[in-house]
Amino acid sequence: MKLKGTNIVIDTAWGDSGKGKFVDVFSGDADLVVRFNGGANAGHTVVNDYGEFKFHLIPTGIFNPDALSILAGSVAISPLTLVDEINELREKGVAISEKNLLISEYAHMIMPWHIARDNLRESARGDAKVGTTGRGIGPLYADRTERVGVRMGDMLKKNFEEIILRELDWQTKLITLMDTEEPSPYLESLSPEKVLADFRAVQEILAPMIGNPLPIIWEAQKAGKEILGEGAQGILLDIDLGTYPYVTSSHPGVTGFSIATGLQQNDISRVIGVTKAYQTRVGEGPMPTELLGEIGDKLRELGNEYGATTGRPRRCGWLDLPSLRYSLQVGGVNSIALTKIDVLDGMDEIKICTHYEYNGKKYDTLPTADAAFMAEAKAIYEMMPKWDGATFGVKDFADFPQEAQDYVKYIEDSVGVPVEIISNGPAREEVFYRI
């Protein structure tokens, strides 16, 4: 399938639905690939002729020599992680320069104090922790809102080191107050010599790639070029529309793309919502269809459900249609890419959550992002016929076992959005299109 115009790929749940594979496949034809939210809290693995890569920041468009990959202004950039990724790519023979990577001058930088504050805050919260990835994401976006962030464009300024030191001074005072451990392990990471040395080392590498991507994006859109938006995390982790406080601090849906690019929903041809055939979540927060016993363990093992960034085991459960309907609504999704259906090949029973019950009332859709509602809502299931044959690697929908075809049709009929793409195996080739 060749996408035309502007298309974005987002996750309809809590991240980890396998969207990396689609952005990898689609970026092969794209003119611009725009990563638009989150930071090194995300992670995906790409395997291709150059080798195996675990990316947190670099857009997958980097493997297309004709595409420009953009890290937009709302991405939380760790310059140190970014340079590690650039170096790894260069070592494996991928050319990277200002010709194929553009970093927005507006993007905020993850500084060591963000990582310290993220971890200190999580420890202080005890049982009420969010279960963050520890990559400094919350504190970075908090500083951005407080208007005290350090931005990639600051790297180009003569007084860059002064900007860092001024903020470092304030942040060190804050962390000294927050950290009760003696001696504080975090203060070491904030020594001015170390911070300046780390940033001097990356400044020269990154500076030529820093600029303003907006006019390039707008011109490309007007000229009908192919723009691919690469989302991170998932709609249910949205800071405003997710189950606060168990969310990330950015906008993983179409809103995030608009904020980052200035393009609006009318400018977008397809919003592809990547949906796993069952449910997973990493970190804390409500998950109505979570399976805590043997069946959940089996889904985890068959689906290899371990977080790409932290290695944490993912919580697993049956597909949750009420939360999917909510995501499709708030995420503006008009096309579903269903992933990991092959994992269900190995299951002895398959269920699907059709609606919730809460205070004696039936809810077909998650009516609110309220975490307490979601925690207390009772998932009501329908038993789906299991299948004996395999969907793994099959190239044509008509060759799926009938029950697997019915499972897919049941989902699209229930949510009113077509399943246009199906991924049925980990490899790049194990995907087919129904359009």
Query: Which residues are CB-contacts of 353 (< 8 A; sequence separation ≥ 6)?
Result: 288, 289, 318, 319, 320, 321, 322, 379, 380, 381
The window from 12-20, 106-114, 150-158, 360-368 that contacts ligand IMP (CB under 6 A) reads 12-20
Rounded to whole angstroms, the Cα distance separating 111 from 131 reads: 20
Report if residue 327 touches ligand IMP, rule: CB under 6 A: no
Name the helix (H) or strand (E) containing 193.
helix 192-206
Among 70, 115, 137, 277, which residue interacts with ligand IMP (rule: CB under 6 A)?
A: 137
Angle between helices 112-125 and 137-146 (to 10 degrees): 110
Catalytic residue among 11, 24, 44, 320: 44
Report if residue 130 touches ligand IMP, rule: CB under 6 A: yes
Q: Other CB atoms closer than 10 Å to residue 142's CB: what's the count?
A: 16
Report if residue 131 touches ligand IMP, rule: CB under 6 A: yes
Among 3, 6, 9, 16, which residue interacts with ligand IMP (rule: CB under 6 A)?
A: 16
413 assigned to active site: no
DSSP string spanning 141-167?
A: HHHHHHT---BGGGGGSTTHHHHHHHH
Report if residue 150 touches ligand IMP, rule: CB under 6 A: no
Among 59, 79, 139, 283, which residue interacts with ligand IMP (rule: CB under 6 A)?
A: 283
16 assigned to active site: yes
Instruction: Name the phi and psi angles at 276, rounded to 5.
Output: -80, 150
The window from 13-21, 162-170, 219-227, 393-401 that contacts ligand IMP (CB under 6 A) reads 13-21
- The tokens describing 372, both together, are 């307490």
Report if residue 167 touches ligand IMP, rule: CB under 6 A: no
Residue type, 283: G
Residue 281: closest CA among 306, 309, 255? 306
**Cis (ω within 30 of 0) for the bond into 367?**
no
The window from 97-105, 127-135, 144-152, 215-223 that contacts ligand IMP (CB under 6 A) reads 127-135
Rounded to whole angstroms, the Cα distance separating 7 from 27 reads: 11
Q: Which is nearer to ligand IMP, 314 or 351 (CB)?
A: 314
Rounded to whole angstroms, the Cα distance separating 140 from 81 reads: 15
Report if residue 42 touches ligand IMP, rule: CB under 6 A: yes
Report if residue 14 touches ligand IMP, rule: CB under 6 A: yes
**Minimum distance from CB of 404 to ligand IMP (Å)?**
26
Residue type, 228: L
**Minimum distance from CB of 330 to ligand IMP (Å)?**
17
Among 33, 282, 299, 431, which residue interacts with ligand IMP (rule: CB under 6 A)?
A: 282
- The tokens describing 59, both together, are 């857009």
Q: Which is nearer to ligand IMP, 279 or 414 (CB)?
A: 279
Q: Which is nearer to ligand IMP, 100 or 233 (CB)?
A: 233
- Residue of closest CB approach to ligand IMP: 283
Report if residue 276 touches ligand IMP, rule: CB under 6 A: no
Among 69, 133, 255, 275, which residue interacts with ligand IMP (rule: CB under 6 A)?
A: 133
Query: Distances in Å between the alpha carbon of 137 and those of 68, 142, 289, 315, 345?
Result: 25, 9, 27, 22, 37
Rounded to whole angstroms, the Cα distance separating 361 from 403 reads: 31
Report if residue 248 touches ligand IMP, rule: CB under 6 A: yes
Binding site for ligand IMP (CB under 6 A): 14-16, 41-42, 130-133, 135, 137-138, 232-233, 237, 246, 248-249, 282-283
The residues assigned a catalytic role are 16, 44
